Amino acid sequence: QKEVEQDPGPLSVPEGAIVSLNCTYSNSAFQYFMWYRQYSRKGPELLMYTYSSGNKEDGRFTAQVDKSSKYISLFIRDSQPSDSATYLCAMSNSGGSNYKLTFGKGTLLTVNP
């Protein structure tokens, strides 16, 4: 079983839709959870950073962590064509090895005008 699983998509939605992106993981030691957005031919850009379980909201973006189910989500409200990108989840342990991030392979999202 891979440590982090992420549906590669592609996911295509109309402008204004609510988008749900998800990752599951197997390592119960993961404590830090991140979402990155990567536009074509660019480097990943950090969108959301959360520690342990719960929700975090930033504008149109909401990150959720459910550690009991080993499941994290990113919701995008009122999606825009500019949200079209690949979304990567990432996570790490706490403690001495927390420098290392384990990434999902990314979900390609297209928001159609």
- The binding site for another protein (CB under 8 A) comprises 32, 34, 36, 41-46, 49, 51, 88, 90, 92, 98-101, 103-106
- How many angstroms separate the first and last alpha carbons of the chain? 38
Counted residue by residue, the chain has a size of 113
Cα 68 from Cα 86, distance rounded (Å): 26
Q: How far is the CB of 8 from another protein (least distance, A)?
A: 8
Q: Looking at beta carbons only, is 33 or 111 nearer to another protein?
A: 33
Q: How far is the CB of 84 from another protein (least distance, A)?
A: 18
Q: Looking at beta carbons only, is 98 or 112 nearer to another protein?
A: 98
Asked if 31 and 78 touch (Cβ cutoff 8 Å), the reply is no
